[in-house]
Amino acid sequence: LSPVPVTVSPRCPHDAVPVPRAGRKDKAVDPVEWSVRDVVEYFTEAGFPEQAGAFQEQEIDGKSLLLMQRADVLTGLSIRLGPALKIYEYHVKLLQRSHFQDEE
């Protein structure tokens, strides 16, 4: 396994966020095209393997992920508050910002 490419969040420079690997044929670079499996893999690689199962159970694909609100992550996934906050702040919001900026 090769290391996961990372980018540093400007809000919290100590938290590294995995970036989708462009070289993989089975996973789209644009999160809107991710399957449920891709979303689960992303959060597993990001250090949330236990919580990744919640995305599988709720059938969250890339389109759904980009539409998620804070309350969806904090209560809709039925995961502990600490990991839920980190997932939303440093992953979901970052992916949303990146995706919607690219559209403009």
| pLDDT for the residue numbered 101 | 84
pLDDT for 88 equals 97
- pLDDT tens-digit series, residues 19-71: 554 445 567 889 999 999 999 999 999 999 999 999 999 999 999 999 999 99
At 18 the pLDDT is 55
Is residue 16 included in any domain, yes or no? no
Q: Does a structural domain hold residue 12?
A: no
Q: Which residue has the higher pLDDT, 21 or 91?
A: 91
Separation CA 45–CA 48 (nearest Å): 7
Q: Is the sign of the CA dihedral 23, 28, 30, 36 positive or negative?
A: negative
CATH number at residue 79: 1.10.150.50
Whole-model pTM: value is 0.74
CB 66 within 8 A of CB 31: yes
Residue 14 lies in a domain: no
Number of domains in the chain: 1
Whether 17 and 6 have beta carbons less than 8 Å apart is answered as yes
